[in-house]
Amino acid sequence: MPNPPLISPHLLQGLPPVVAKDARVLVLGSMPGTASLQAGQYYAHRQNRFWPFMGELVGADPVLSYAQRLNRLGAAGIALWDVLACCERDGSLDTAIRTDTAVANDFAGFFDKYPAIGTVLFNGAKAEQCFQRFVAPQLRGATPVLRRLPSTSPANAATSATAKLAAWREALQAAGVSGLITSV
Protein backbone atom coordinates (compact mmCIF):
# COMPACT_ATOMS: atom_id res chain seq x y z
CA MET A 1 0.00 0.00 0.00
CA PRO A 2 1.47 3.41 -0.97
CA ASN A 3 2.31 5.93 1.69
CA PRO A 4 -0.18 8.80 2.08
CA PRO A 5 1.02 12.14 0.72
CA LEU A 6 2.88 14.30 3.17
CA ILE A 7 0.90 17.31 4.27
CA SER A 8 2.86 20.32 5.36
CA PRO A 9 2.29 21.40 8.97
CA HIS A 10 2.34 24.96 7.61
CA LEU A 11 -0.52 24.55 5.09
CA LEU A 12 -3.20 26.97 6.19
CA GLN A 13 -6.85 27.04 5.17
CA GLY A 14 -8.50 30.46 5.17
CA LEU A 15 -11.85 31.52 6.55
CA PRO A 16 -15.10 31.71 4.58
CA PRO A 17 -16.28 35.10 3.36
CA VAL A 18 -18.48 37.23 5.57
CA VAL A 19 -20.85 38.97 3.19
CA ALA A 20 -24.39 40.26 3.08
CA LYS A 21 -26.34 39.90 -0.17
CA ASP A 22 -26.24 43.66 -0.81
CA ALA A 23 -22.58 44.26 0.11
CA ARG A 24 -20.92 47.02 -1.91
CA VAL A 25 -17.38 46.97 -0.48
CA LEU A 26 -15.10 43.97 -0.02
CA VAL A 27 -12.16 44.23 2.39
CA LEU A 28 -9.48 41.70 1.47
CA GLY A 29 -6.56 40.51 3.52
CA SER A 30 -3.99 38.05 2.22
CA MET A 31 -4.46 35.11 4.65
CA PRO A 32 -5.67 35.27 8.27
CA GLY A 33 -2.98 35.28 10.93
CA THR A 34 -2.56 32.55 13.52
CA ALA A 35 -4.81 34.23 16.11
CA SER A 36 -7.60 34.67 13.55
CA LEU A 37 -7.36 31.08 12.31
CA GLN A 38 -7.38 29.74 15.87
CA ALA A 39 -10.39 31.88 16.80
CA GLY A 40 -12.17 31.37 13.47
CA GLN A 41 -12.63 35.15 13.32
CA TYR A 42 -11.27 37.85 11.06
CA TYR A 43 -8.72 40.22 12.63
CA ALA A 44 -8.67 38.40 15.99
CA HIS A 45 -5.17 39.51 17.03
CA ARG A 46 -5.80 41.97 19.85
CA GLN A 47 -3.24 44.45 18.52
CA ASN A 48 -4.66 44.54 15.00
CA ARG A 49 -6.29 47.92 14.38
CA PHE A 50 -9.05 46.67 12.04
CA TRP A 51 -11.83 46.41 14.64
CA PRO A 52 -10.93 49.65 16.46
CA PHE A 53 -11.02 51.41 13.06
CA MET A 54 -14.35 49.81 12.14
CA GLY A 55 -15.64 50.84 15.56
CA GLU A 56 -14.81 54.46 14.85
CA LEU A 57 -16.02 54.32 11.24
CA VAL A 58 -19.18 52.18 11.26
CA GLY A 59 -19.83 51.35 14.91
CA ALA A 60 -18.36 47.82 14.76
CA ASP A 61 -16.52 48.42 18.02
CA PRO A 62 -14.23 45.72 19.47
CA VAL A 63 -16.27 45.69 22.71
CA LEU A 64 -19.19 44.19 20.77
CA SER A 65 -19.41 40.46 20.20
CA TYR A 66 -17.91 39.19 16.95
CA ALA A 67 -21.41 38.49 15.59
CA GLN A 68 -22.52 42.04 16.43
CA ARG A 69 -19.45 43.51 14.72
CA LEU A 70 -20.15 41.46 11.60
CA ASN A 71 -23.77 42.65 11.65
CA ARG A 72 -22.59 46.28 11.79
CA LEU A 73 -20.25 45.70 8.85
CA GLY A 74 -23.03 44.01 6.90
CA ALA A 75 -25.42 46.90 7.62
CA ALA A 76 -22.78 49.27 6.25
CA GLY A 77 -22.39 47.16 3.10
CA ILE A 78 -18.91 45.87 3.97
CA ALA A 79 -17.84 42.27 3.34
CA LEU A 80 -14.68 40.50 4.56
CA TRP A 81 -12.57 37.82 2.94
CA ASP A 82 -8.99 36.99 2.00
CA VAL A 83 -7.33 36.61 -1.36
CA LEU A 84 -5.88 33.19 -0.55
CA ALA A 85 -7.91 30.08 0.16
CA CYS A 86 -4.80 28.26 1.35
CA CYS A 87 -1.05 28.59 1.46
CA GLU A 88 1.98 27.58 3.46
CA ARG A 89 3.28 30.08 5.97
CA ASP A 90 5.41 29.75 9.06
CA GLY A 91 3.98 32.18 11.61
CA SER A 92 1.58 35.03 10.91
CA LEU A 93 3.54 37.50 8.82
CA ASP A 94 2.57 38.14 5.20
CA THR A 95 6.25 38.05 4.29
CA ALA A 96 6.33 34.37 5.33
CA ILE A 97 3.62 33.33 2.83
CA ARG A 98 5.07 30.88 0.31
CA THR A 99 3.48 32.11 -2.90
CA ASP A 100 4.49 28.89 -4.67
CA THR A 101 1.94 27.10 -2.43
CA ALA A 102 -0.76 29.78 -2.63
CA VAL A 103 -4.21 29.03 -4.02
CA ALA A 104 -6.63 31.93 -4.50
CA ASN A 105 -10.27 31.94 -3.56
CA ASP A 106 -12.88 31.80 -6.35
CA PHE A 107 -13.40 35.48 -7.05
CA ALA A 108 -15.12 35.06 -10.41
CA GLY A 109 -17.86 33.08 -8.67
CA PHE A 110 -17.88 35.47 -5.73
CA PHE A 111 -18.35 38.57 -7.89
CA ASP A 112 -21.05 36.78 -9.90
CA LYS A 113 -22.90 35.98 -6.67
CA TYR A 114 -22.46 39.49 -5.21
CA PRO A 115 -22.70 41.87 -8.19
CA ALA A 116 -23.29 44.95 -6.02
CA ILE A 117 -19.64 44.89 -4.86
CA GLY A 118 -18.10 47.82 -6.66
CA THR A 119 -15.01 48.41 -4.53
CA VAL A 120 -12.29 46.11 -3.23
CA LEU A 121 -10.13 47.49 -0.43
CA PHE A 122 -6.87 45.64 0.15
CA ASN A 123 -5.77 45.54 3.78
CA GLY A 124 -2.09 45.96 2.97
CA ALA A 125 0.34 45.43 0.12
CA LYS A 126 0.52 41.63 0.25
CA ALA A 127 -3.23 41.27 -0.28
CA GLU A 128 -3.01 43.52 -3.33
CA GLN A 129 0.04 41.69 -4.69
CA CYS A 130 -1.62 38.29 -4.30
CA PHE A 131 -4.83 39.54 -5.94
CA GLN A 132 -2.93 40.99 -8.90
CA ARG A 133 -0.90 37.81 -9.31
CA PHE A 134 -3.50 35.09 -8.74
CA VAL A 135 -6.92 36.66 -9.33
CA ALA A 136 -6.85 39.62 -11.71
CA PRO A 137 -5.66 37.62 -14.75
CA GLN A 138 -8.70 35.31 -14.46
CA LEU A 139 -11.36 37.99 -14.03
CA ARG A 140 -13.59 38.67 -16.98
CA GLY A 141 -15.93 41.57 -17.58
CA ALA A 142 -16.33 44.56 -15.34
CA THR A 143 -14.05 44.58 -12.33
CA PRO A 144 -14.55 46.52 -9.12
CA VAL A 145 -12.50 49.54 -8.16
CA LEU A 146 -9.32 48.23 -6.53
CA ARG A 147 -7.59 50.20 -3.81
CA ARG A 148 -4.74 49.35 -1.43
CA LEU A 149 -4.91 50.71 2.12
CA PRO A 150 -2.31 50.66 4.86
CA SER A 151 -2.36 47.34 6.68
CA THR A 152 -4.10 47.33 10.04
CA SER A 153 -1.65 44.67 11.24
CA PRO A 154 0.56 45.45 14.24
CA ALA A 155 3.50 44.46 12.01
CA ASN A 156 2.86 47.61 9.94
CA ALA A 157 4.46 50.18 12.21
CA ALA A 158 5.71 52.48 9.44
CA THR A 159 2.41 54.38 9.31
CA SER A 160 0.77 55.95 12.35
CA ALA A 161 -2.62 54.74 13.53
CA THR A 162 -4.00 58.23 12.87
CA ALA A 163 -2.82 58.19 9.25
CA LYS A 164 -4.11 54.64 8.76
CA LEU A 165 -7.54 55.56 10.15
CA ALA A 166 -7.72 58.63 7.90
CA ALA A 167 -6.91 56.50 4.84
CA TRP A 168 -9.56 53.93 5.75
CA ARG A 169 -12.13 56.69 6.41
CA GLU A 170 -11.46 58.33 3.04
CA ALA A 171 -11.63 55.01 1.17
CA LEU A 172 -14.95 54.04 2.78
CA GLN A 173 -16.35 57.50 2.03
CA ALA A 174 -15.24 57.22 -1.61
CA ALA A 175 -16.90 53.79 -1.80
CA GLY A 176 -20.18 55.24 -0.51
CA VAL A 177 -20.37 53.16 2.66
CA SER A 178 -23.68 53.76 4.42
CA GLY A 179 -23.74 54.73 8.07
CA LEU A 180 -20.18 56.01 8.04
CA ILE A 181 -19.40 57.91 11.22
CA THR A 182 -17.75 61.07 9.98
CA SER A 183 -16.93 62.80 13.25
CA VAL A 184 -13.48 62.18 14.68
User: Which tens digit of pLDDT belongs to each residue from 80-89?
Assistant: 999 999 998 8
**Alpha-carbon distance 116 to 25, whole Å?**
8
pLDDT given for residue 6 in this prediction: 45
pLDDT given for residue 76 in this prediction: 96
In this prediction, residue 127 has a pLDDT band, given cuts at 50, 70 and 90, of very high
Single-letter code of the amino acid located at 156: N
Q: Is it the case that residue 66 has pLDDT exceeding 90? A: yes
Residue positions counted in the chain: 184
**What residues does each domain of the chain span?**
11-174
Q: What is the mean pLDDT of residues 28-57?
A: 95
Q: Model's pTM, two decimal places?
A: 0.91
Q: How far is CA 116 from CA 84, 110, 141, in A?
A: 22, 11, 14
**Alpha-carbon distance 132 to 148, whole Å?**
11
pLDDT given for residue 8 in this prediction: 61
In this prediction, residue 109 has a pLDDT band, given cuts at 50, 70 and 90, of very high
**Alpha-carbon distance 86 to 104, whole Å?**
7
Q: Is it the case that residue 172 has pLDDT exceeding 80? A: yes
pLDDT given for residue 77 in this prediction: 97
pLDDT given for residue 174 in this prediction: 96
CATH fourth-level superfamily of 11-174: Uracil-DNA glycosylase-like domain (3.40.470.10)
Q: What is the mean pLDDT of residues 111-119?
A: 95
Phi, psi angle pair for 161, to nearest 5° = -60, -35
User: Which tens digit of pLDDT belongs to each residue from 10-23?
Assistant: 688 999 999 999 99
